[in-house]
Amino acid sequence: MPHHRSTQADVAALAGVSQATVSIVLSGHTPKGVRISDATRNRVLEALRITGYSANPVAQRLAGGKNQLLGVFTYEKTFPRGGRDFYGAFLNGIEEAAEQLGVDMLLFTSARVVDGRRRLAGDGWQRLGIADGCLLLGQQEDREELQHLLDTNYPFVFIGKRETDKHLLPYVGADYVTATARQVDRLAALGHTRIAYAGVQSDDQSTRDRVDGYRDAMTAKGLAPRFLDLRDAARGTGEIVESGVTAVLLAPENDPDEIVDAFEARGLAVPRDVSVVLLGQPHLPPRRGRRWSGFSVPREEMGARALVLLSRIVHQDAEPTRRSPVRPSAALRLTDADYHQIIDCPDVEGDTVALAPSLTRPFERNPS
């Protein structure tokens, strides 16, 4: 039998007062010219205890004009399936920052997923209005939707570098360009001259940044860029052997353990014959416990800093409150650097990088 949810009318009837009196007691603020005796207030509080009534926090906040609610919208499904956990670290950072800022978070999940991507079109715009602002996460965003948010001045921050024609879109991203270039420098310092980039050539911003970092670093060293597609691991590793490549930069969509298995099937060992560097955490968790060399993406820091930025955008014209420690003075005067934050990706030493084979053995595999 369903349990009846108590209402303000139930509380008012039990206490023998009006619903307006119950509302005033719940708010904790007595309007000017209104007097509620201690006895009446105590009767209302006792009725609240007996009925177990709990106010609708969204309705209370909307009535007060300040929700203290911020949202998170993800273009792909949020929670991991098949071992994939793209969003977990971002959400950890968001939660930590939300606790410190004293705000509650809403996860928008009702938008239908079509071809692996959610869209805000339809009633999604109205749903966002529940929150004061929203964080956006996703590998494949809708550019028209982002422009609509900009045009309507809805407060939002994208987690991940994003660019628009007028560079107005606020984001907190990772510095994939510099981090990828450092991996080329690391391998070149170990004598590698045939360094390949293995990854799908897609149009998303993070892929473009990684490719730009790789190509620029190779060109600066007078080395020829080589691009491989390792979705078919056996075929791709065969191409590596035939071309004489001695080091591979793996984009995160690759399964590094599968690549190592394909190398070993050809009698090659990592890192003795081929050095392997990961350009960020792989989408699938490693199975062998190998310590991969490369760089990591500071996802928790990105999530936390994005929420702080969003809070500053939302509150930059508001007075500070006990629940919102960010003050609207100099701390809220946002600059271009605030709106477009890029965070360094720390290197991971690992054990999958070694000297080029030509420096440790008197032969070189099939030089091209």
SS (H, E, C) 120-174: CCCCHHHHHCCCCEEEEECCCCCHHHHHHHHHCCCCEEEECCCCCCCCCCCEEEE
* pLDDT confidence of residue 321: 41
* pLDDT confidence of residue 329: 45
One-letter amino acid at 82 equals G
What are the residues whose beta carbons fall under 8 Å from the beta carbon of 354, sequence distance 6 or more? 190, 271, 272, 275, 360
Q: Which residue stretches of the chain have pLDDT < 70?
A: 1-5, 32, 54-67, 79-85, 112-116, 121-126, 164-167, 283-286, 317-332, 359-368
Q: How far apart are CA 348 and CA 179, in angstroms?
A: 11
Task: Count Cα atoms within 13 angstroms, Cβ side, for 320.
Answer: 10
Fold for domain 8-55?
434 Repressor (Amino-terminal Domain) (1.10.260)
Strands 293-295, 347-348: parallel, antiparallel or unpaired by DSSP?
antiparallel
Phi, psi (5° rounding) for residue 46? -65, -40
Q: Does domain 176-297+347-360 have CATH number 1.10.10.10?
A: no
Q: How far apart are CA 337 and CA 363, in angstroms?
A: 50
* pLDDT confidence of residue 311: 92
Asked if 8-55 and 176-297+347-360 have one fold, the answer is no
Count CB-CB contacts under 10 A for residue 342: 17
* pLDDT confidence of residue 368: 42
The CATH classification number of 69-154+299-343 equals 3.40.50
Does residue 271 sit in helix, strand or coil? coil
pLDDT digits over 140-177, tens only? 777 888 888 888 888 999 999 987 666 678 999 999 99
* pLDDT confidence of residue 362: 46
Count CB-CB contacts under 10 A for residue 123: 10
| Segments making up each domain of the chain, as ranges | 8-55, 69-154+299-343, 176-297+347-360
Count CB-CB contacts under 10 A for residue 260: 23
* pLDDT confidence of residue 333: 75
Count CB-CB contacts under 10 A for residue 13: 14
Q: How far apart are CA 9 and CA 47, in angstroms?
A: 11
DSSP 191: T
* pLDDT confidence of residue 113: 67
- Helical (H) or strand (E) element with 43: helix 38-51
Instruction: Report yes or no: 272 and 73 within 8 Å, Cβ to Cβ.
Output: no
Q: How far apart are CA 198 and CA 229, in angstroms?
A: 6
Q: Tokens 């071309």 label which residue?
A: 243
Q: How far apart are CA 339 and CA 358, in angstroms?
A: 47
Instruction: Report yes or no: 116 and 325 within 8 Å, Cβ to Cβ.
Output: no
* pLDDT confidence of residue 11: 87
Q: How far apart are CA 150 and CA 160, in angstroms?
A: 17
What are the residues whose beta carbons fall under 8 Å from the beta carbon of 318, sequence distance 6 or more? 66, 324, 328
- ∠ CA 143-144-149, nearest 5°, is 100
